[in-house]
């Protein structure tokens, strides 16, 4: 099988993907190989992978490469795809664990919006078709893979619900650009995280993002509804690629966000490594969140965003009355919340009530100084009227 270093040799991984896809044309944009080099170096030298973790990480590299190759081939065979517009996409952003996922899932019940579903993001070729969109055999295949994760790490679905028919966030699309938050959540990759946060050029990410959406909508079209906390770090890059995008930012006390995402990260990493440190996860989350909040405020102050282009949603308001919040959001979006859409949302919420985080995380686990972190986020909280929560 080879040593860990040999398993993550970039040329070997790329060659394997080309063999599986029957193509060696990865298309534009460039930059994906740079990210892959940083990622594989971290997997070899920092991730402390178990034997199973090596196998999972290899698949997490090869599969996006294969998808990229097949998308490129389909685009070459159907050149009109490249001219298709992405019109007024809606992006849900915000710190992780601030209600972005449940808001995304609820809005995705609106039949007039088009979220990317997990099964088509993970297996985008052949292009999904309207007549088989809910019955495609790939749905069962992807669902089985997700349920395998629960067998490996019991409780992972409670931390972060996953399903083949649930909408999927943009970090999974960016996996094929190898500049994605999905990797440092799944694996211990401090150098890769710093590279992404401070050094990586994210413009190719958004160019590939457009390519991916054009690919999916060549089969099933609609107004895109998209989500990822990672957009918070790159709002200026987002609107440079999508000038007519509408952005919905969720807001919550950053301290409970940090302890919650640290717990999730620690739990997810157990799938690939027997080594874990919640405090180390928390410090990484603290740095990323503080940087993200500061950058987002600078972008707002820069004049890059058009009036009304960004809509704010307080987590506390959403939890208190989800549908009052959704109605205000629809008014701001200039959309009608139809009775059909609202009923579908209510049915989804009744079937997925959540557990409020339970006792899965506490601030004490983070090892961080609450007063120090509170000072770092004070400007953000004051600016957006984000209430301070009791620390869990």
- Residue-range domain boundaries for the chain: 88-384
Residue 358, pLDDT score: 46
Angle at 189 between CA 4 and CA 369, to 5 degrees: 145
Give per-residue pLDDT as tens, 341-387: 999 999 999 998 765 444 467 899 999 999 999 999 999 999 999 99
Domain 88-384, what fold? Rossmann fold (3.40.50)
- What b/e sequence results for 27-59 when a residue is b if at least 16 CB atoms lie within 10 Å of its CB, and e otherwise? bebebbebbbebbbbbbbeebebeeebbebbbe
Average pLDDT (116-122) is: 98
Burial class of 265 by CB neighbour count within 10 A (0 to 12, 13 to 18, 19+): buried
Question: Tens digit of pLDDT for each residue in 266-277?
Answer: 989 998 998 889
Q: Whole-angstrom Cα distance, residue 16 to residue 320?
A: 50
In this structure, are residues 112 and 62 in contact, taking their beta carbons and an 8 Å threshold?
A: no
Question: How many Cα atoms are found within 13 Å in the side-chain-facing hemisphere of 150?
Answer: 13
Q: How far apart are CA 111 and CA 115, in angstroms?
A: 10
Check residue 357 and give its pLDDT: 47
Dihedral (CA of 319, 325, 327, 332) sign = negative
Cβ partners under 8 Å of residue 373, min gap 6: 254, 255, 258, 286, 290
| Nearest to 377, CA basis, from 259, 289, 260 | 289
Q: What is the dihedral of CA 361, 365, 367, 371, to 10 degrees?
A: 50
Q: Which residues contact 365 (CB under 8 A, 6 or more apart)?
A: 259, 262, 263, 278, 279, 282
For residue 345, is the peptide bond before it cis, meaning its omega torsion is within 30 degrees of 0?
Answer: no
User: Residue 219: pLDDT above 60?
Assistant: yes
- What value does the mean pLDDT take over residues 313-325? 95
Alpha-carbon distance of 135 to 131, in angstroms, equals: 8
Average pLDDT score, the chain: 94
CA distance 337 to 323: 10
What is the model's pLDDT at position 354? Answer: 67
Please name the helix (run of DSSP H) or strand (run of DSSP E) that holds residue 91, with its range, or none.
strand 90-94
Query: Is the pTM above the cut of 0.85?
Result: yes
8 Å CB contact between 312 and 93: no
Q: Which residue has the higher pLDDT, 140 or 147?
A: 140
CB atoms within 10 A of CB 228: 27
Spatial distance between the Cα atoms of 20 and 69, rounded to a whole number of angstroms: 10
User: Tens of pLDDT along 51-103?
Assistant: 999 999 999 999 999 999 999 999 999 999 999 999 999 999 999 889 999 99
Per-residue pLDDT tens digits for 232-246: 999 999 999 999 999
pLDDT at residue 149 in the model: 81
Reported confidence tier of residue 194, pLDDT bands at 50, 70, 90: very high
- Give 273's DSSP letter: B
* CA dist list (Å): 263 to 6, 98, 260, 305: 32, 14, 5, 34
Q: For residue 365, count other CB atoms closer than 10 A to its CB.
A: 17
Rounded CA separation 126/120 (Å): 9
pLDDT tens by residue, 154-188:
777 766 678 999 999 999 999 999 999 999 999 99
């Amino acid at each position: 099988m080879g040593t860990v270093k040999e398993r993550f040799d970039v040329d070997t991984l790329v060659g394997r993907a080309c063999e599986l896809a029957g193509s060696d044309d990865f298309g534009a944009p460039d930059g994906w190989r740079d990210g892959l080099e940083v990622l594989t170096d971290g997997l070899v030298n920092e991730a402390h992978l178990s034997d199973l973790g090596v196998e999972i990480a290899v698949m997490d590299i090869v599969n996006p490469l294969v998808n990229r190759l097949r998308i490129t081939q389909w685009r070459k065979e159907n050149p009109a795809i490249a001219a298709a517009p992405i019109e007024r996409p809606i992006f849900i952003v915000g710190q992780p664990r601030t209600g972005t996922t449940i808001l995304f899932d609820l809005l995705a019940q609106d039949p007039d919006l088009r979220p990317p579903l997990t099964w088509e993001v993970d297996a985008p070729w052949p292009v999904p078709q309207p007549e088989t969109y809910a019955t495609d055999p790939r749905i069962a295949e992807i669902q089985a893979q997700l349920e395998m994760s629960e067998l490996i790490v019991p409780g992972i679905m409670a931390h972060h619900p996953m399903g083949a028919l649930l909408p999927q966030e943009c970090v999974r699309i960016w996996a094929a650009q190898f500049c994605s938050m999905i990797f440092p959540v799944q694996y211990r990759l401090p150098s890769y995280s710093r590279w992404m946060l401070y050094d990586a050029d994210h413009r190719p990410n958004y160019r590939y993002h457009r390519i991916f959406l054009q690919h999916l909508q060549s089969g099933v079209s609609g107004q895109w509804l998209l989500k990822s906390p990672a957009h918070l770090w790159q709002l200026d890059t987002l609107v440079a690629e999508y000038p007519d995008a509408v952005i919905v930012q969720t807001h919550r006390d950053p301290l409970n966000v940090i302890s919650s995402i640290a717990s999730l990260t620690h739990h997810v990493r157990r799938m690939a490594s027997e080594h874990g440190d919640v405090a180390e996860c928390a410090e990484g989350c603290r740095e990323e969140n503080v940087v993200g909040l500061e950058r987002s405020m600078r972008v707002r102050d820069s004049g890059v965003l058009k009036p009304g282009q960004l809509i704010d949603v307080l987590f506390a308001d959403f939890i208190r009355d989800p549908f009052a919040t959704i109605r205000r959001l629809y008014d701001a979006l200039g959309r009608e919340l139809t009775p059909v859409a609202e009923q579908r949302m209510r049915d989804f919420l009744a079937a997925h009530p959540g557990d409020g985080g339970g006792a899965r995380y506490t601030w004490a686990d983070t090892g961080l100084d609450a007063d120090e972190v509170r000072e770092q986020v004070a400007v953000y909280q004051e600016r957006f009227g984000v209430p301070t929560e009791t620390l869990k």
